Amino acid sequence: MPYLFTSESVSEGHPDKIADQISDSLLDHFLAFDPDSKVACETLVTTGLVTLAGEVKTTAYVDVQNIARDVINRIGYTKGEYMFDGNSCGVISAIHEQSPDINQGVDRDSEDEQGAGDQGMMFGYATTETDNYMPLALNISHSILMELAAIRKEGKEMTYLRPDAKSQVTIEYDDNNHPVRIDAVVVSTQHDEFDNEDNMLKKIKQDVINILIPRVIAKMKPENQELFNDQIKYHINPTGKFVIGGPHGDAGLTGRKIIVDTYGGKGAHGGGAFSGKDPSKVDRSAAYATRHIAKNLVAAGVANEVLVQVSYAIGVAEPMGIYVNTYGTANVDMNDGEIAKIVEKIFDMRPAYIIKRLKLKEPIYSESAAYGHMGRAPEVKQVIFKGNGGDEVKKVVETFTWEKLDYVDQVKEAFKL
């Protein structure tokens, strides 16, 4: 029987995403000057105020206030009328040193035996639904907001746009779990004041349908372009006026958009947030590692859809276990338990080996803090950081290493594909 599935995304100017980006920018600066930094930074943003809290163990000194302000300005909160802007907001820091009780379970004499930074379970997911092996509804939701931000920053069209925005996409699937059409699209965007509210709603809806959506469609592959049709139900700023937004409209906190950050409700989620956490925290590193596994399994043809779970005890290096679910889409003559046993042999899931395999001690996290941690394109680039009382460090880093298809050949060999 056909069914509908929905995923949402939020923009870089959403209060929770501002908090995530600040936390990850702090993490990147600490790692740039001390790759062994242990960081757990939380951020709260509200009207005219940023509060930084958490635990850090590092040899680096960074100006956390300036970092927070730079992030806010880069996002686009640069005007006093927003009631939150990078140049004038207050920034309070309550960051202190990491608990030695936690640290003793993580740091070991042998790096190979580095314990997990916490207990918990982490999930990775992949599907053949899109070229980047991500769920389609989430992909489109992210694309809408990325394009909306690009239009805002270009400043040529839709010049009334402000940074806060949300999107949601509902897709109809057939009996074989194939997408057949887009049923509904929701876009809510913060905007400048208009003289007339009726004209405002009409103008924004016209611009979303006639300017934004065509730009989104143009970047899709042909089979996904065909899902758009004139029967789509568009809900554009459905509550009406949306002038008050950002941290002035709602307080934002690090780690509150974990489904937006991962798979939009497909697969599963262990509950742990990512931003502001160094890779010794398996909430982050093992979630990336399970995505890496799932994506390489699907790309190698083991199955058309895969969910991978790993779980840990705090201070223990070896995972409690690895679980694989192919949802009945396996292309090999094995059950999911047998597939999991082979996965265990290919991918070493001890924290130290995850960190080495995915190069997670590099300052690569700021980019992941908006528009999803998964499904992004790996890129080698130079980054520059300032800290330690004015010192500057330049690094060549590789972002989104967990998205690389670098284990496909090994997977094919192990599964005789």
Residue 96 is labelled as binding a ligand: no
DSSP string for 300-321: HTSBSEEEEEEEE-BT-SS-SE
Instruction: Give how far Cα 253 sits from Cα of 41, 80, 184, Å.
Output: 11, 21, 29
**Annotated catalytic residue, options 191, 256, 350, 373:** 256
Q: Are 207 and 234 in contact (CB under 8 A)?
A: no
**Annotated catalytic residue, options 30, 242, 385, 415:** 242
The yes-or-no answer on residue 281 being catalytic is yes
Residue 112 is labelled as binding a ligand: no
**Dihedral angle sign, alpha carbons of residues 95, 101, 102, 106:** positive
- The phi, psi pair for 291, rounded to 5°, reads -65, -45
Residue 413 is labelled as binding a ligand: no
The yes-or-no answer on residue 251 being catalytic is yes
**Annotated catalytic residue, options 8, 261, 283, 305:** 283
Residue 154 is labelled as binding a ligand: no
Question: Rounded CA gap, 195 and 22, in Å?
Answer: 35
- Per-residue tokens: 162: 């402000």
The yes-or-no answer on residue 42 being catalytic is yes
The yes-or-no answer on residue 174 being catalytic is no
The yes-or-no answer on residue 277 being catalytic is yes
Q: Are 371 and 138 in contact (CB under 8 A)?
A: no
Residue 16 is labelled as binding a ligand: yes
**Annotated catalytic residue, options 166, 248, 350, 357:** 166
**Annotated catalytic residue, options 8, 12, 16, 34:** 16
**Annotated catalytic residue, options 152, 162, 277, 295:** 277
The yes-or-no answer on residue 341 being catalytic is no
Residue 21 is labelled as binding a ligand: no
The yes-or-no answer on residue 381 being catalytic is no
Residue 295 is labelled as binding a ligand: no
The yes-or-no answer on residue 292 being catalytic is no
The yes-or-no answer on residue 356 being catalytic is no
Residue 164 is labelled as binding a ligand: yes
Residue 281 is labelled as binding a ligand: yes
Q: Long-range CB contacts (< 8 A, 24+ apart) of 97-106?
A: 97/55, 97/56, 97/57, 98/38, 98/40, 98/55, 98/56, 98/57, 99/55, 102/55, 102/314, 103/38, 103/57, 104/315, 105/314, 105/315, 106/38, 106/280, 106/315
**Annotated catalytic residue, options 5, 8, 12, 14:** 14
**Annotated catalytic residue, options 8, 12, 42, 403:** 42
Q: What is the DSSP letter of 388?
A: T
Residue 178 is labelled as binding a ligand: no
Burial label, 199 (beta-carbon count in 10 A; 0-12, 13-18, 19+): exposed
The yes-or-no answer on residue 123 being catalytic is no
Residue 172 is labelled as binding a ligand: no
Q: Are 26 and 52 in contact (CB under 8 A)?
A: yes
Residues forming the annotated binding site? 14, 16, 42, 55, 98, 164-166, 241-242, 250, 256-257, 273, 277, 281
* Catalytic residue annotation: 14, 16-17, 42, 55, 166, 242, 250-251, 256-257, 277, 281, 283
Residues forming the annotated binding site for Mg(2+)? 16
Residues forming the annotated binding site for K(+)? 42
Residues forming the annotated binding site for ATP? 14, 164-166, 241-242, 250, 256-257, 273, 277
Residues forming the annotated binding site for L-methionine? 55, 98, 250, 281
